[in-house]
């Protein structure tokens, strides 16, 4: 009788464990599509790349072999449906009508808004980690990143502040204001954002001439940045022009950072704003 009880107990325990294992593999997404370059990079940072089944055309190099499903703004709906994802990660740049279509098809879509600060960038990274059950990994990354940022800020706070203008668009001339993590980039690197007062980001060259930045940073990809630099060089009275401190930086570094790449770009900006620290 005891042997029978023991036998059935073992069967029940094995059945229970198999149910737990099955539930554990199903409660978090196994087939993910990322519609944001930084979100894609963050999945790799969280070591969840094996679950990534699709991403945007302009994905980071690490995801070059993944299925492409459109751009940050416009997606190929048929291709996404064919891939049968259980989670789609999107940014606020995605057309809301396409988000609605996906949700009507019972596809889970999580939309991440544009982070307005370094802290929010970290918070969103942790939010993503919770979605895919990688909280422990994310917490460790954020801890290390914050320690590095704190160390950089301790070094730059004693330096003389450099007046900076960061240009992220040409027609119209566009720059991030105070409600952007780009402002944190500038201030953490020991700079002053001369356009901190802007709410909508559109700025005139006349206003820039008036504020006379020490450094102009052009955020761009390709030949457009060279042309913009040539335009700025016509304005001989600007300190940035006089002292040959017009720099071009890749847009992914400034506009699509992960918490980890934020630190690397911050180090680069410190060298640009304070070359004496090298």
Over residues 186-206, the pLDDT tens digits come to: 999 999 999 988 877 788 899
Superfamily for the 32-113 domain: Nitrogenase molybdenum iron protein domain (3.40.50.1980)
Residue the block writes with tokens 């600007």: 238
**pLDDT score, position 176:** 85
From the centroid of its chain, how far is CA 191? Answer: 21
212-239 b/e with 16+ CB inside 10 Å = b? bbbbbbbbbeeeebeebbeebeeeeebe
* pLDDT tens per residue, range 74-128: 899 999 999 999 999 999 999 999 999 999 999 999 999 989 999 999 999 999 9
Residue-averaged pLDDT of the chain: 87
> Is 115:127 a contact under the CB 8 Å cutoff?
no
Q: Which CATH architecture has domain 140-277?
A: 3-Layer(aba) Sandwich (3.40)
Q: Among candidates 21, 218, 48, 205, which has minimal Cα distance to 132?
A: 48
Q: In what order do the strands lie in the sheet with 162-167?
A: 191-193, 162-167, 215-220, 246-250
> Is 195:165 a contact under the CB 8 Å cutoff?
yes
The model carries a pTM of: 0.85
Q: What is the mean pLDDT of residues 43-63?
A: 92
Query: Over 90: is that where the pLDDT of 221 sits?
Result: no
**pLDDT score, position 55:** 93
Residue ranges matching CATH 3.40.50.1980 in the chain: 32-113, 140-277
User: How far apart, in whole angstroms, are the C-alpha atoms of residue 74 and residue 83?
Assistant: 17
């Amino acid at each position: 009788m005891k042997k029978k009880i023991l036998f059935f107990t073992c069967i029940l325990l094995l059945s229970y464990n198999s149910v737990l294992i099955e539930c554990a593999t199903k409660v978090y997404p196994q087939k993910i599509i990322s519609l944001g370059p930084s979100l894609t990079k963050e999945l790799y940072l969280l070591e969840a790349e094996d679950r990534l089944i699709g991403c945007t055309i302009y994905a980071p190099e690490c995801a070059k072999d993944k299925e492409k499903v459109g751009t940050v703004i416009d997606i190929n709906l048929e291709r996404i449906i064919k891939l049968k994802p259980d989670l789609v990660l999107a940014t606020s740049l995605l057309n809301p009508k396409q988000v609605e279509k996906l949700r009507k098809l019972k596809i889970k879509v999580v939309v991440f808004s544009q982070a307005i600060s370094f802290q929010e960038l970290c918070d969103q990274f942790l939010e993503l980690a919770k979605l895919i059950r990688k909280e422990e990994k994310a917490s460790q990354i954020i801890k290390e990143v914050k320690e590095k940022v704190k160390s950089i800020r301790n070094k730059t706070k004693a330096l003389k502040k450099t007046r900076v203008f960061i240009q992220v668009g040409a027609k119209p001339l566009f720059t991030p204001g105070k409600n952007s993590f780009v402002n944190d980039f500038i201030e953490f690197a020991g700079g002053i954002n001369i356009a901190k007062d802007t709410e909508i980001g559109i700025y005139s060259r006349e206003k820039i001439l008036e504020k006379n930045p020490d450094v102009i940073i052009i955020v761009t990809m390709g030949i457009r940045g060279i042309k913009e630099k040539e335009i700025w060089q016509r304005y001989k009275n600007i300190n940035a022009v006089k002292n040959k401190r017009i720099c071009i930086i890749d847009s992914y570094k400034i506009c699509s950072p992960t918490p980890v790449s934020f630190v690397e770009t911050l180090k680069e900006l410190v060298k640009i704003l304070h070359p004496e620290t090298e």
